[in-house]
Structure 1
Amino acid sequence: MNNKTLSILSYITIIGWVIAFVKSKDLTPKSDLVNYHLKQGFGIFIVSLILNIALSVVVAAVPSLYFLSYIGYILFILWIFGIINAANEQKKPIPVIGKIFENQFGFIN
């Protein structure tokens, strides 16, 4: 797989991320683009997981706050931005939350 494909795949569910992570270890030379999007993809996965668990608890406790579930649409839009950046082979962070993940997840390098 080429760098562009692995970059896009790093956003497609956690299974796609694992495949991209394993395949990126085989690349010589190492691709900064793939590593960057692996970090961004893993970051948005972690944020969406934590946010969905928290929102499920909040909505279960206070059903009148059901409108908070629309935050999932915002995460979906951010995820689309990440895929677009990967498809364009750009090392741009995901809006709002992407800068946080640029220097995190040292195991990806």
Structure 2
Amino acid sequence: MNNKTLSILSYITIIGWIVAFVKSKDLTPKSDLVRYHLKQGFGIFLVSLLVNIALSVTVMVAPPLYFLSYVGYIILILWIFGIINAANEQKKPIPVIGKIFEDKFSFID
């Protein structure tokens, strides 16, 4: 797989991220692009997991706040931005939350 494919794959569920992570270890010249998008993809996965857990608990405790579940659409839009950046082979952070993950997750390096 080439760098562009691995970058895109790093956003497609956690299984896709694991495949991209394992395949990136096999690349002879290590790709900064793939590492960057692995970090961004893992970060958005963690954010979506935490937001979904928090929203589930909130709606369970206070059902009238069901409208907060629309926050999931915002995460979907951020995820799409990440895929577009990976497809264009740009090392550009995901809006709003992407800068947080640029220097995190040292196990990916």
State the TM-score, normalizing by the size of structure 2. Answer: 1.00
Spell out, residue by residue over 1:60-81, the C-alpha distance to the aligned partner (whole angstroms, 9 max, x if none). Answer: 0000000000000000000000
Tell me the residue number matched to 1:62. 62
Runs of 4 or more, structure 1, over 3 Å off, are: none
Distance in 2 (CA, whole Å) between partners of 1:92 and 1:66 is 33
Match runs of 1:90-105 below 5 Å? 90-105=90-105
Tell me the residue number matched to 1:39. 39
Provide the alpha-carbon RMSD of the alignment: 0.2
Which residue type is aligned with residue 39 of structure 2?
K
Q: Does 1:17 align with 2:20?
A: no
Spell out, residue by residue over 1:58-107, the C-alpha distance to the aligned partner (whole angstroms, 9 max, x if none). Answer: 00000000000000000000000000000000000000000000000000
Distance in 2 (CA, whole Å) between partners of 1:8 and 1:28 is 19
Distance in 2 (CA, whole Å) between partners of 1:82 and 1:28 is 25
TM-aligned CA deviation for residue 108 of structure 1: 0.1
Tell me the residue number matched to 1:8. 8
TM-aligned CA deviation for residue 13 of structure 1: 0.1
In the alignment, structure 2 segments of 5+ residues that lack a partner are none
> What is the number of residues matched between the two proteins?
109
Tell me the residue number matched to 1:53. 53
Distance in 2 (CA, whole Å) between partners of 1:84 and 1:95 is 12
Tell me the residue number matched to 1:89. 89
